[in-house]
Amino acid sequence: MKTSRAILVGTLVVNGPVLLLLFGPSAIVWWVNGAPDVIHAPVGTYLAISFLSSVPIAWLWWSIAIPRWRVWAYERVDDIPRLKDVAVMAGLTWPDGWIFERTEIKSAQIADREAQLLSLHAPKQRPSDNRRRSP
């Protein structure tokens, strides 16, 4: 599978629901209150509360979905380093080692499968590369 297709699937399956979970509740609050052109105190408060409460829910979805998408994509693409780079550029994942990676929620099975797939695609070192060269 092409990297671009894996990114498209990730965007639809992971980030699509994130956007719905993030902005959907506020849109519903706005619509239920008559879709006002000017937002006054009570509606503004409801909108702020709905948006602020939706942030952790959207993040929870991302934290659960992204490790599963990553394993799915790793199983299907040939160039994992390129997939990682493009996923970061697309706003789908964080760069390796970033603190937000720690918010991912994955089972031991998912973590093991991800590590296994990464090791299969890791560049092979030649034995001579490990020795020090004499001057």
Is residue 129 in a domain?
A: no
What percentage of the chain carries pLDDT values higher than 70? Answer: 89
Q: Would you call 117 exposed, middle or buried from its count of C-beta atoms within 10 A (0-12, 13-18, 19+)?
A: middle
**Gap between the Cα atoms of 50 and 29, Å rounded:** 8
In a domain, 135, yes or no: no
Q: What pLDDT is recorded for position 123? A: 63
**pLDDT at 11 (0 to 100):** 95
User: Range of 21's domain?
Assistant: 3-122
The model scores a pTM over 0.85: no
Q: Let me know: does 80 contact 121? Beta carbons within 8 Å.
A: yes
Domain assignment present for residue 134? The answer is: no
pLDDT at 108: 94
Q: Are 7 and 90 in contact (CB under 8 A)?
A: yes
Quote the mean pLDDT of the chain: 86
Q: Is residue 128 part of a domain?
A: no
Query: How do residues 9-51 score in pLDDT, each as one tens digit?
Result: 999 999 999 999 999 998 888 888 777 776 777 877 888 888 8
The answer to whether residue 133 scores a pLDDT higher than 50 is: no
pLDDT (0 to 100) of residue 118: 87
Q: Is residue 20 part of a domain?
A: yes
Is 109 a domain residue?
Answer: yes
Long-range contacts of 101-108 (CB under 8 A, 24+ apart): 103/59, 103/63, 104/63, 104/66, 104/67, 105/60, 105/63, 105/64, 105/67, 106/67, 106/68
Number of domains in the chain: 1
CB 55 within 8 A of CB 38: no
Cβ contacts of 58 within 8 Å, gap of 6 or more = 17, 18, 19, 21, 22
- Domain assignment present for residue 46? The answer is yes
In a domain, residue 91? The reply is yes
